Amino acid sequence: MIKLLTLEWNKFKDNSVVRLLFFIYLFIFPILMLIFKDDNVIPQTPFFDPKDIFRYPGIWEWLGYIGNWMVYFILGFLIVYIISIEVTYKTMRQNIITGLTRTDYFISKFAIVIFFSITATLYYAIVGYLLGFLSDEQYTISEVFANNYAIPRFFLMCVGYLSFAMFIGFLIKNSGLAVLVYLAYGIMLEPIIRLWGHQKLFEGNSHNYYPLNAIEDLMPMPLPNEGMKDTIGFLSHQHAAITSILFIGVFVFLTYYIFKRRDI
Amino acid sequence: MKVLEIKNLSKNYGNIKAVNDLSLSIEKGCVFGILGPNGSGKTTTLGMILGIIKKDAGDYKWFGDSSNKNHRKKIGAILETPNFYPYMNAENNLKIISQIKGTGNQDYESILKRVNLWDRRSSKFRSYSLGMKQRLAIGATLVGNPEVVIFDEPTNGLDPQGIAEIRNILTSIADEGKTVIMASHILDEVEKVCSHVAIIKNGNLLATGAIGSFAKNKFIEINSTNRSNLKEDLNNMEGVTIIKEQNAFIQCEVSDTYNIEDFSRYLTSKNHVITHLLMQKRSLEEEFLEIVK
């Protein structure tokens, strides 16, 4: 596994797109939080004090929600790019000819998914800790980490988005189209299917159990109180987590299954 | 020892039989050409034995062992086009290959010097000309000093100088005693480089054997001062058939075992003074055209 990860590192360390996006992620992720420092962005209401954004446990939710967008758009894009570009360059083909087994190749890509997820989660924890540390209030350690499993939720969200990205990257052989489908599915396709199709046909809230929606609900938009969750239609953390884990299993299995069987 | 054994290998694309029940075996140390027109199934066959195209039927064995998943690490191969990371330089691209093969760091300098790219080692792959890309691909097959190297149309699209360069490299690789498998649609290339050949058309194996082994006959070109009688005398000779007459010589076909000394002696006894005498084996091109007819 470490060997395969080193191989991937050597393949992409000189790639300018990968470097650029990785640094953009590192910079933008904490900087976006500063937008909320401006009082005009989120006005004070009787239910909600914007200062909560920078207080625990609010930090974890707000930072996690920013991460939600960033992981999907930047890290997910990177995963699709890293996988589909090797199809375009035909280096995937050459890697197999040179001696990797298909299983090795699949593991090397899944290892990136896990590596990115761990790195992003660590970064989330560090930034979350630093932001609280920089605010003027004093907390005990238990207050800092009393965050309703925010860190494992963030990790699961990363693995979820990135497994989906991996699936699309392997499924669609054209790199441009793969990126397009990945973004379009999350932004438009799934919401359209859910809200204009599924919801019209079936009673109840089963339309919330679609993969990207469930993964998104692991780190949803922070709400002033828990009661609003049902009204808006967010899944509970438990339901989101279980649904996400199931879909991660499906994506990983399907990716491997398709890749093992087809001509490359 | 057999390096590769293919048995009844088949691959269909819809209704098209890309490779049809193909069987062949390749001995260690030979330079084996797979010859066939474009679209005859050469690349599909190589793709299957290299694990990137799924076979529909049949089997193949590398090094006498079909179960080992790591056999490709002992083979250096390029298929169709040189495939490298365009944003990386030659040396780093070769490093990726040795990392996959698990060979540790290699003598990249001697490999790159051998394919004449040492001066350009730090340029990115995307800046290379087609000839340089092909040469790097050939260099890449040498990483880890594999027992078997495979080339697919190695001179495709190159100018005459590039073709000559690649051929020299291929010949020198063959001279080292490596087993070389080369697919090509260019007869001349196979004839110059290979010791054995398999001829494929529409996915079917038409013939296989040592180069020249298909030839049953030889050709003799002859001319003498007494041209008017020459034709008659040749017609009277047993085992000699006149094929064509030209101003400069008469071309006849004789059997493979025909004794040229008797031929010459007979004509001298008929008072011919020979001004032109040339004996030729049938060229691979002629064999090829004969076989695929």
* pLDDT confidence of residue A111: 96
* pLDDT confidence of residue A69: 94
B276 CB-contact burial (10 Å; exposed 0-12 / middle 13-18 / buried 19+):
exposed
Give pLDDT < 70 ranges for chain B. 213-216, 282-285, 292-293
CB B188 within 8 A of CB B155: no
SS (H, E, C) A215-245: HHCCCCCCCCCCCHHHHHCCCCHHHHHHHHH
Backbone angles phi, psi at B215, to 5 degrees: -75, 120
Closest CB to B100 among A100, A261, A262: A100
Quick one: which of A178, A210, A175 has its CA closest to A191?
A: A210
Closest CB to A98 among B69, B92, B101: B101
* Contact at CB, B83 and A89, closer than 8 angstroms: yes
* Contact at CB, B101 and A99, closer than 8 angstroms: yes
* pLDDT confidence of residue B215: 58
* Contact at CB, B52 and A95, closer than 8 angstroms: no
Count contacts between A and B (CB, < 8 Å).
Answer: 70
Quick one: which of A69, A57, A63 has its CA closest to A33?
A: A63
Distance CA A98, CA A92 (A): 10
User: What does the block give as tokens for A9?
Assistant: 């590192």
In chain B the first and final C-alpha atoms are separated, in Å, by 33
What residues in A contact B125, CB-CB < 8 Å? Answer: none
H or E segment to which residue B223 belongs: strand B217-224
What residues in B contact A16, CB-CB < 8 Å? Answer: 87
A247 CB-contact burial (10 Å; exposed 0-12 / middle 13-18 / buried 19+):
buried
* Contact at CB, B69 and A11, closer than 8 angstroms: no
The one-letter amino acid at A135: S
* Contact at CB, B70 and A99, closer than 8 angstroms: yes
A166 CB-contact burial (10 Å; exposed 0-12 / middle 13-18 / buried 19+):
buried
pTM of the model: 0.86
Closest CB to A263 among B53, B87, B95: B53
* pLDDT confidence of residue A40: 67
The residue of chain B with its CA nearest to that of A4 is B100
Sequence-ordered list of residues with C-beta below 8 angstroms from that of A137, at least 6 positions apart, any chain: A55
Kindly report the nearest CA distance between residue B65 and chain A, in angstroms.
16
* Contact at CB, A95 and B88, closer than 8 angstroms: no
* Contact at CB, A96 and B50, closer than 8 angstroms: yes
pLDDT in tens, chain A (264 residues): 889 999 999 999 999 999 999 999 999 998 888 777 766 666 677 667 777 778 888 889 989 999 999 999 999 999 999 999 999 999 999 999 999 999 999 999 999 999 999 999 999 999 998 888 777 677 777 887 778 889 999 999 999 999 999 999 999 999 999 999 999 999 999 999 998 888 888 888 888 899 999 999 999 988 776 667 777 778 888 999 999 999 999 999 999 999 999 998
Structural domain spans, chain A:
2-261
What residues in A contact B50, CB-CB < 8 Å? Answer: 96-97
* pLDDT confidence of residue B283: 66
* Contact status of B227 with chain A (Cβ, < 8 Å): no
Kindly report the nearest CA distance between residue A262 and chain B, in angstroms.
7
Residue B10 in 3-state DSSP? strand
* pLDDT confidence of residue A219: 92
Best of B52, B70, B73, B97 to mutate (most A CBs within 10 Å, chain A): B52
